[in-house]
Amino acid sequence: MSDGPKSEMPFDPKIVAFCCRHCAYAAADLAGAMRLHYPHSVRIVDVPCSGRVDPLEMLRAFERGVDGLLVAG
């Protein structure tokens, strides 16, 4: 999970996706099974419900250097 050396390559944003276990996480699973292409730089976090994700967690993610967030439920 290293950022790799900085180069002139277009940058690969580190995205965290908070996914509801029952909806979006399952959708992500299905996307995998269907062999759909989507950016590999996304890190999926499985949460019991997307309502569980509060601003504090989102801020913490940015504080640790994440480039973008997706909340899906």
Partner 1 sequence: MSNLLEEIGLGRERIEMVNVSSAMAVQFAEAVENVTQRVRELGPNPLQATRGSDNEE
Partner 2 sequence: MIVGERKPLSEIMELLGGAQKVLVAGCGTCVTVCFAGGEKEVGILASELRMKSKLDDHAMDVEEATVQRQCEWEYIDPLRERLDGFDVVLSLACGIGVQAMNERFPGVITLPGINTTSLSLPVEQGVWEERCQACGDCLLGTTFGICPIARCSKQLLNGPCGGSQEGICEVDSDTPCAWQLIWDRAIEFDQVRRLLDIQAPKNWSQSRDGGLRKIVREDLQLESE
Site of interaction with partner 2 (CB under 8 A): 54-56, 59-60, 62-63
Binds 24: which of partner 1, partner 2, none (CB < 5-8 Å by kind) = partner 1
Pairing relation of β-strands 15-20 and 68-72? Answer: parallel
Query: b or e along 17-35 (b: 16 or more beta carbons within 10 Å of the residue's beta carbon)?
Result: bbbbeeebbeebeeeeeee
Comparing CB distances to partner 2, the nearer of 11 and 62 is 62
* Least spacing, CB of residue 59 vs partner 1, in Å: 7
* Least spacing, CB of residue 2 vs partner 2, in Å: 22
